[in-house]
Amino acid sequence: EILSAAADAAEQGAIATEPLVARKGRASYLGERSAGHRDPGSQSTALLLRAAAEAAG
């Protein structure tokens, strides 16, 4: 149940990164074009937490 709640929160956090313009890392090379895409680190964390929640049952 805790892992499921964490996965839900991580997914909401990943969605919240979509309108942001990257200022650090490789995505910063895109400037304004980086807006409209989820941060890959936040998305992968959400996927890992969802997989852990499903594995835990």
Given this model, what pLDDT does residue 21 score? 96
Given this model, what pLDDT does residue 14 score? 98
C-alpha distances in Å from residue 45, one per residue of 8, 26, 39, 55, 56: 11, 18, 10, 15, 16
DSSP 8-class letter at 35: T
Given this model, what pLDDT does residue 33 score? 95
Greater model confidence, 17 or 57: 17
Tens digit of pLDDT for each residue in 7-55?
A: 999 999 999 999 999 999 999 999 999 999 999 999 999 999 999 999 9
The 3-state DSSP class for residue 21 equals coil
Given this model, what pLDDT does residue 57 score? 86
pTM equals 0.84
